[in-house]
Structure 1
Amino acid sequence: MNVAIRYAAGSDIGCNRENNEDSGYAGARLIAVADGMGGYAGGEVASSTVIGSLRSLDTDARKDDLVDALGRAVAEANEKLRLAREERPDLSRMGTTLTAMLWDGESVALAHVGDSRGYMLRDGELYQMTQDHTMDELLKAEAEQAGQQADPAETSRLSHVLYRVLDGREDREPDLRLRDAQLGDRYLLCSDGLSGPVDAQKIYEVLSAEADPQRAVDRLIELARDNGGPDNITAVVADVVESEHVTGPGTPLVVGAAANA
């Protein structure tokens, strides 16, 4: 059975920011979200550089090379950030999260670094596919391994402190894995500007109720704004469908800072 993805993407500056440091991409084989950081201009450059670099993956890919291809592309994107920092000292503090998925039929590679998120809606259940690379999650994991409970006050204080991002430095390895995609799956990649103000239950309700991917994206962004929109908001939704239900090659969608790069 030949499968394809039907996709949509959107990005919004939010209610409290002066510029959009998020970037997103959606195409026939690749979807990705990057949440930049590092002060004015830095975050925009970081996220748009990484998304611009990964766009070359949105072509035919060999199934047995999906994870390696995605891993190499992330490493190349990180190297571009290193070069950009060397050329512009004002970008020395820039970095970005990245959550990306690369398809080949029913196989899909997932790459993740930072606290943007990937969700999957399958058979009426919502699953979070990624783990936030934040200090509070690291403390919780370490405490659990030791059979203890992490200090709630400490984890709350560190909930937005990232311990892994793409910033041009060495050893910035993403989490990489190969997954099986099934007909009927719906995937959401989003920045924490969405997953922060909109809880998992609301995300589930929207993804379940809105059949059209673009309407789902728009509704999720609207909810994040209704809940204060404290950060930039970016979402990409992709549905796994039979290929004959997708007409034409489809135009790739680029949103956020990358759309203006």
Structure 2
Amino acid sequence: MKKIVGHAVSNRGRVRENNEDNYLLGNCLNAESLDESETHFTQRAGLWTCAGVFDGMGGEAGGEIASNIASRVFQENTMNFDSFDREKISRHIEKTFAIANQAVVEERKKHSTCGTTGTVLITDGTSFKIFHRGDSRVYVMRDRKLYVLSKDHTLAQLKLDMGIYHSAEEIPERENHQLTEFIGMDYAGQAVPFESEWIEWKENDRILLCSDGLYDMCTSEMILKCLTMSGDVEKATHELFEMAMSFGGKDNITVIVLQLTDKKIA
């Protein structure tokens, strides 16, 4: 019987004073917003599971509060939905984004700059769907090629889409992470995320969810090599994290790697 296996690492990196990232893998998150957090996950295919990365913004305590709130909301709302079909799953995750958004909006009354990205994957091991706001990313390694499945909600990407910029070399660095969408920005309570189509999960795929602390430090070629060569998801997750650290670790780093396996797991 096939199983979904995943591993998550979240770390404050070498420069930041605290860890404003958080994650969800199954029912596990960084509940105390620790500087270092790690978890492993195994579940038989056929049951719905949720994985997500939440990169807090706002500095000091604001960002870590927002990402913690969002990860907890998703944990609470994705524990008992195995009877849902795909359509109901999609509506449920859209609603969960709205609940998380309103919770962070309420927190902004105390920390006016706080907010968080939210990049969430739902899967039963046969297919998966991405729900997304911000600039955390989802990649898939398929047939030894790397594909970015999410699209950054940043000022830089918006200007590229509009034709104001024609290449990445033209973009001022500050615009690469000025978010145009995030959890906590809609004071009317409307927080509809980007949604992908349902994507078939092929047998040898490896799925990566990460914050910008990984992809800002590592090229796509480096990420692909690590996902291709590492023996299992735990090793792949650690190698990606260590690679980001070795190139400076200038931001918080959160990495989740998922794959299917039919190997017996203790």
**TM-score bucket of the superposed structures, by smaller chain:** 0.7 to 0.9
| Structure 1 residue 115 corresponds to structure 2 residue 141 | no
TM value normalised by structure 1: 0.85
Q: Which residue of 1 aligns with 2:191?
A: 172
- The structure, 1 or 2, with the larger RCO (C-alpha pairs under 8 Å, 6+ apart) is 1
Do the aligned partners of residues 16 and 156 (structure 1) sit closer, same or farther apart at CA in structure 2, a change above 3 Å counting? closer
Distance 1:196 1:205 in 2: 16
Q: Which structure 2 residues correspond to residues 73-152 of structure 1 after superposition, within 5 A?
A: 73-86=96-109, 89=110, 91-143=111-163, 149=166, 152=169
- Equivalenced residue count is 239
Q: Which residue of 2 aligns with 1:62?
A: 84
* Offset of residue 197 of structure 1: 0.5
Distance 2:106 2:179 in 1: 22
* Offset of residue 105 of structure 1: 3.9
| Structure 1 residue 183 corresponds to structure 2 residue 226 | no
Distance 1:150 1:211 in 2: 36
Q: Which residue of 1 aligns with 2:253?
A: 233
> Quick check: 224-233 or 49-58, which moved more?
49-58
* Offset of residue 135 of structure 1: 0.7
Q: Return the letter of the residue paired with 1:173.
A: V
Contact 1:61 1:104 in 2 (8 A): no
Distance 1:158 1:186 in 2: 30
Contact 1:137 1:155 in 2 (8 A): no
Structure 1: give runs of 5+ residues left out of the alignment.
Answer: 249-261
Q: Which residue of 2 aligns with 1:72?
A: 95
Q: Which residue of 2 aligns with 1:47?
A: 67
Structure 2: give runs of 5+ residues left out of the alignment.
Answer: 27-42, 44-48
Distance 2:79 2:219 in 1: 31
* Offset of residue 213 of structure 1: 0.7
CA offsets, 1:90-149, max 9 Å, x none? x121000111111124122211111111000112211110111111111111118xxx83
| Structure 1 residue 161 corresponds to structure 2 residue 181 | no
Q: Which residue of 2 aligns with 1:6?
A: 5
